[in-house]
Each structure stands twice: as C-alpha cells, then as structure tokens.
Structure 1
Amino acid sequence: MDVWSQVFSFQDYGELLVLVQNSIWAGAVLGIVGGLIGPFVIARNMPFAVHGISELSFAGASASLLLGVNVVTGSLVGSVIAALLIGLLGSRARERNSIIAVLMPFGLGLGILCLALYKGRAANKFGLLTGQIVSVDNPQLTFLVVIAAIVVATLLVVWRPLMFSSVDPDVAAAAGIPVRTLAIVFMLVLGLATAVSVQIVGALLVLSLLVTPAAAALRLTSHPVVVPVLSTVFAVTSVVGGILLALGGGLPISPYVTTISFAIWVVCRIVGARKDRRGRDRVAGRERDGGGDPGLQTGAGVDTKIGASA
C-alpha cells in the first residue's frame, strides 16, 4: 500500500494543480507537435533518429546546466547540431543508422560527464533524463510555444511534398520534388521538436511522445488526414494525462506518460488486429459466396452457349 499511495496520492491536489498550469499548457502544445510530426517519423523510418537527436539534446542541456546558461537554448543547440549531422551525412538509411549509432553514445557520455561535474540540485540532473512537471515558467512556456509554432507552420507548408517524398522518395525526385532539401528541413524540424520535448518528458523517453502515438494511430487507419488527427489526440492525452497523474504521485512524469502512451498503443493494436481479421473474413466470405472467379464463370457460360448453338 505504501508504494501504491506513493504512485497515486492526491492530497492537496487542487493547490498543486495551480502550480503546474504552465506545464499542462506546455504538455498540450508538445502533444500537438509530437502528434503532427510522428507520422512523418514513421513514414521515413526514423524512430532511431529521434533517440539519437535526444541524446545530443541532453548533452547540450547538461552542458548549459554546468555552465549556468539557459538549459532550453543548450538543448536546442544540441538537437540542431545532431539533426544537421544526420541530415547532411546520412542520405541513405544504412549511413544514417551508423551515424546515429556513433552520435548516441557520444551525446549520452558527454551529458553524463557534464552532470557529474555539476554541483547543483540533483533534481535538475534527474529531470533532464526523466522529465519534470514544475520546471516550466512563463518565459520558458512562451519560448516553447514559439518553437512549436515554427515547427507546426513548417510542417503545414511542406506537408504534401514531404509526405510524397517520405512514402516514395525515388518517384518524388523524378517528379521534381527537392527530396534532399526536404530531408534536411525535416531533420531541423525534428530537432526542434525533440529539443522542446526533452524539457517535459526527458531525453530517455522522448520516443513515447514523437513515435508511439503515431504508431498507435497507424494501427487503426492509414488515411492521410485521420492519422495525424488521431496521433495528436493520443499524444496530448499521454502528456497531459501523465502530468496530472505525476502531480498526484510526486514522481517523475516519464513513467506516467510512457504508460499511458503504451496502453493506447496496445488498445489500438488489438482493435487494429480485430479490424484486419474482420476484413479477411469478409473477403473470404465473398469468395465462398461467389463460388470462384466471376470471370471464369462468365467464360464458362459463353463456352456453353457457343457449344449449344453449334
């Protein structure tokens, strides 16, 4: 019971809720960003890149913490550097994965070194890895909203050509779409989204915001409009719900966010599997009712008539 009360304890919840209003708004904004960019991450097969960028973002934030400068700025610098390196050097999937595999341990090691040298509050160190719910003040919220607006506006401008180049880059290049330029633009946007997400859910678990909601939505539908809508709803639910639950338990936000996100994915996977099974059953039923290929039946009937008239 002690563990359960520590995980879910809602004493003085109303008073605590007032203190994290900025975090709730920040979570909602990040949910929108993650929900919109997630389908592109999956379409371009880049979940691994998200994790690589988050490690460099963590390194930048840790270095800023050590030097006493703005942590959000350091996180953004680390993310942008990682995004540019991956976008410029990793034109092919195999090269990209190798580059990410090199950057990830370097970023994590550099971040751990900076945190080891940092002599401030331990909560600041832990929060960079697992997220914090009371760390968003008014200037940070404004900065986050501005970055999120830049990300969303950029995605809306390049949405159609970016989706085309994500699904079939060779055909898109043949059609005159600047695939290489779009890839770099997307990496920069992904870097910005990752940097602001690290401030809430932490560097280690940013995938639960930028990948899992989109993966859950794709289990239900492949419609190009419905997928980002569902992904956004799932992401906002995960982040805001995680903040509200973490506030009651007084624990890091990341376990709550990841649990809600994972639960949504499991439910969507079950529903999607049943939907696929019903689709296969309907196809099999139509084949049984038709008694075979209609074209063969027609041909057989024509042959019979021809033989009778002969």
Structure 2
Amino acid sequence: MATFSKFFNTNTNITMLDDLIPSMGLPAFISAIVLCCVGFYLIRKLSVDTKIPVRDSSKNHNWSTIEVSSKAWYCSICDMFLVTGIGVFCDCCGVCACPEDVKKANLKLPCKAIVSTNDVQLHHWVKGNLPLGTICYICDEECCLEPGLNDFQCCWCQRTVHTECLDKMGQVCDFGSFRNMIVPPSCVQVARRKGALNKHLLLRAVKDPGWENWTPLVVIGNKKSGNSDGAQVLSEFRKYLNPVQVIDLSERKPQAALQWCVLLAPRPVKLLIAGGDGTVAWVMTSSYKMDLDVRNQAYKKKI
C-alpha cells in the first residue's frame, strides 16, 4: 500500500490492491485462481478435438530424414549427392535437400498442393530422385540411367518422363492409377483456426469431384507405433494421396480422422488403419460412438 501512495495522489479515486482481493484473504484467493487454471487445462486436455488439421503446403515442405536406401539421392537445389542420415526429403512431393539448402528449397520449390482454387489439376513435376527402374511414359525407356539430378516425376499421377520427353506430355494431370482414391486439391475447403496464424488451417468441407467410382481413401496410423513402422506407412501414403488424407493418431484422436466420413456422407469412404490391435480397436470404438455405418472388409496386419 505504501508503494502505491508514493506515486499517486491520495486524493485521487484509485482502486487499490486490497479492493481486488475478496474477504477470504490472499492465500485463499490465489488458491482459487490456481484451481481455475488447472481445471481449464484439464478440460482442454480431455476434450476431443474433432477438427482435421491441414498443413499449409505453401509455407514449407514436410521434411523427413533420408534413411538407408538402395538408390542415390541428390539435392534438388545444388545437385549434391546426399549422405544417408544427413539429407532430407519431402515425403509429399519428393523434393530433396542438403541441410544448407532446406530454406532455399522451401522458398523456390513448391510442395504438393493440398488446397487449390483451380478446378483443372496440372502436372506437378519434380526433377530427379526417381524410384529405381522407372520407365518413361512417352518413349517406354528406363529413366535416370546417369548419376545426378535427371528426368522428372509428377507427384500426383506418379508418371515419369525423360527430360527430353517432357514437352510431349500434356499439362493436365488425371491423377493416374490412384485417381479414385485421391481427394483433388480443388475439392478441399479449409478454414483458418480462430485467433491463430495463417499456418493453422482446419478442414471445413470436401466437395465431390463427380468422378465415377470415386471412393476416397483415408489412412489412419500412429507414427509412434512399433519400430517407427507407423511413420513409414504414413510417409509413403502422403506421396500417393492428398497429404490431408493421412491422419497421424499421435497428433489427433480417431474422432478427428473419422470426420472424413461425416464430411463426405453419403459417399462411402475407405479407411486404412495402419496399426496393431489396439489402434484398430480404438478407431472402431470411436466409429461406433459416432454412429457411423462401418463395414469391415479390411485386411489386418500388425505393424
């Protein structure tokens, strides 16, 4: 009280600290504040977040460390050979980078688009680092016969072409063999999380592209499951599908992943659950609680 009186005129009508503390006393007042904070935290922790997060692919790539592989990897920026365990690759589009060029790759090389306002999907060509034994779609000859960053692959339809054959490819992409499993970027509608920055996006709605026999595939897994097998499965499917179709249970509960069934109803959705008995039971129990029509036709394999 004395400290306040040194700086303020005592004749001024000022609410002092004593007026803010209830008659119960300072210790009890502090205890009540602490209990309220703890209660708020527990409610947020235990509540089920049914929103599907959407990564803003315009900001950064989804980098993963390059593991031991039978093929050679090259930086998409400087063309340098990448050593296992040091270089990184984007498991969505296939761009690779050495540690020094990660920022440049994020700025110069666009990642696989999750959302798009363009109804016509164009090929998204990524140079080099093609799978072993790939064949050119135009001339039917093997690609990447020489070391270095050679030839191209579309990260949507997965077609590969020689550099000299690229001009013979059309611009429009038909999503290739997995067309009926993929949710096109033009069909994904997102909303910005209230009060958050631009990078925090949530899946708001999904439009039907109107394709015959279109049955989108949603992959559910836990990257912490097994000996990182779950992480490898999720990473592999991001390459072939729209990355938003791949849900990591270490970050979201099954109810969030199952929102796909709600958003696409009455269109059927195929769910691939990558995990053991516990993961499968967790997802199935959540589906029954959400009153979803589940028809189990899955082949189950533990990871």
The alignment's TM-score, normalised by the length of structure 1, stands at 0.25
**Larger relative contact order, structure 1 or 2 (CA cutoff 8 Å, min sep 6):** 1
The alignment's TM-score, normalised by the length of structure 2, stands at 0.25
Larger radius of gyration: 2
Determine which structure has the larger strand proportion and give its number: 2
